[in-house]
């Protein structure tokens, strides 16, 4: 037998109970979280002589978030490439399910789809706001100049699983205190933003089935100075547009067909 912990974030009324089948878990997650933001962060060279507007005007700071800066110091400029689902701990619940089934077969996709499922047990369900909280650093912490690219998008997520080794040969112990909601300041936010969840100090991944980006993205140049009173300082911001809406499968990839424009 193989065993899997599955996490579903959705309104309380949508969370299936004991004996649920896999399609009901998938549907609950699909209806529970439907949007997010794609974020890329880029480091700028020290004493960089350019400007964000020049990158936009030249097409290097484009709507799909291509690397606008050539590699320097022997490394590429991109520091972060992430999609942050819009988890709202104030209104959503989390359900935790133990799934077991026959030994996994070879294949891609969600780990649950590699099982012949024999049992689905709901281990827990509670408001997300009651989970243990943990803070983390999401934005850069080193002094210097940076660029960020943000694109809002509609998302369809599958139920969450533990990263790296979701399937195990023995039942996976579950304790509610080991489930943490991660919070971080994003740019110059005045309050913390939920940026994900962990269980037992392991990241929970939410496989993306579909992502439909908005046909615009926002580029921001900013500087960090740990010695200044205001450590984060926004330097400039531009919104770039595409003539055509992205294809659904463009999540996390550059779209060579996008044509950028800009407004300051």
For the chain, 264 residues long, give each residue's pLDDT as a single digit of tens.
999 999 999 999 999 998 899 999 999 999 999 999 999 999 999 889 999 999 999 999 999 999 999 998 888 899 999 999 999 999 999 999 999 999 777 777 899 999 999 999 999 999 999 999 999 998 998 999 999 999 999 999 999 999 998 999 999 999 999 999 999 988 888 889 999 999 999 999 999 999 999 999 999 999 999 999 989 999 999 999 996 544 433 434 443 322 222 222
C-alpha to C-alpha distance for 242 and 250, rounded to whole angstroms: 13
The dihedral built from the CA positions of residue 28, 210, 165 and 135, taken in this order, carries a sign that is negative
CA 249 – CA 72 distance, rounded (Å): 30
Q: Name residue 148's beta-bridge partners.
A: 41, 220
Asked whether the beta carbons of 208 and 251 are under 8 A apart, the reply is: yes
- Please list the residues that pair with 144 across neighbouring strands: 224
Instruction: Report pTM.
Output: 0.87
User: What was the pLDDT predicted at 252?
Assistant: 43
- Pick from 117, 95, 59: nearest CA to 199: 95
Report the chain's terminal Cα–Cα distance, integer Å.
Answer: 58
- The length of the chain, given as a count of residues: 264
C-alpha to C-alpha distance for 43 and 75, rounded to whole angstroms: 10
Residues 141 and 161: their CA atoms lie apart, in Å, by: 29
Q: What is the CA radius of gyration of the chain?
A: 21
Count other Cβ atoms within 10 Å, centred on residue 85: 22
Phi/psi at 231 (5° precision) = -70, -30
Question: According to the model, what pLDDT value does residue 234 have?
Answer: 95
DSSP annotation of 161 reads E
d(CA 89, CA 192): 12
Query: What pLDDT sits at residue 190?
Result: 80
Helical residues (DSSP H) of 74-165, grouped into ranges: none
The DSSP bridge partners found for residue 89 are none
H/E element holding 234? strand 232-241
The per-residue pLDDT for 244 is 53
User: What distance lies between CA 58 and its chain's CA centroid?
Assistant: 29
């Amino acid at each position: 037998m193989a065993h899997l912990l599955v996490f579903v974030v959705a309104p309380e009324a949508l969370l299936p109970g004991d004996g649920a089948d896999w399609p009901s878990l998938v549907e609950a997650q699909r209806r529970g979280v439907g949007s997010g933001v794609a974020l890329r962060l880029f480091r700028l060279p020290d004493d960089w002589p350019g400007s964000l507007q020049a990158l936009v005007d030249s097409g290097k700071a484009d709507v799909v978030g291509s690397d606008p800066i050539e590699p320097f110091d022997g490394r590429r400029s991109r520091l972060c490439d992430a999609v942050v689902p819009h988890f709202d701990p104030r209104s959503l619940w989390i359900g935790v399910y133990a799934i077991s089934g026959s030994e996994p077969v070879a294949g891609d996709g969600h780990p649950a789809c590699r099982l012949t499922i024999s049992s689905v047990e709901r281990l827990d369900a509670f408001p997300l706001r009651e989970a243990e909280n943990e803070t983390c650093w999401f934005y850069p912490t080193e002094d210097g100049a940076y660029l960020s690219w943000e694109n809002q998008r509609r998302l369809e997520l599958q139920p969450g699983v533990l990263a790296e080794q979701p399937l195990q040969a023995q039942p996976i112990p579950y304790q509610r205190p080991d489930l943490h909601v991660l919070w971080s300041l994003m740019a110059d936010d005045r309050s913390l933003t939920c940026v994900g969840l962990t269980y037992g100090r392991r990241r929970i991944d939410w496989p993306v089935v579909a992502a439909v980006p908005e046909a615009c993205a926002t580029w921001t140049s900013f500087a960090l100075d740990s010695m200044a009173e205001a450590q984060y300082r926004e330097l400039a911001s531009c919104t770039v547009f595409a003539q055509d809406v992205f294809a659904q499968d463009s999540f996390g990839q550059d779209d060579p067909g996008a044509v950028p424009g800009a407004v300051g």
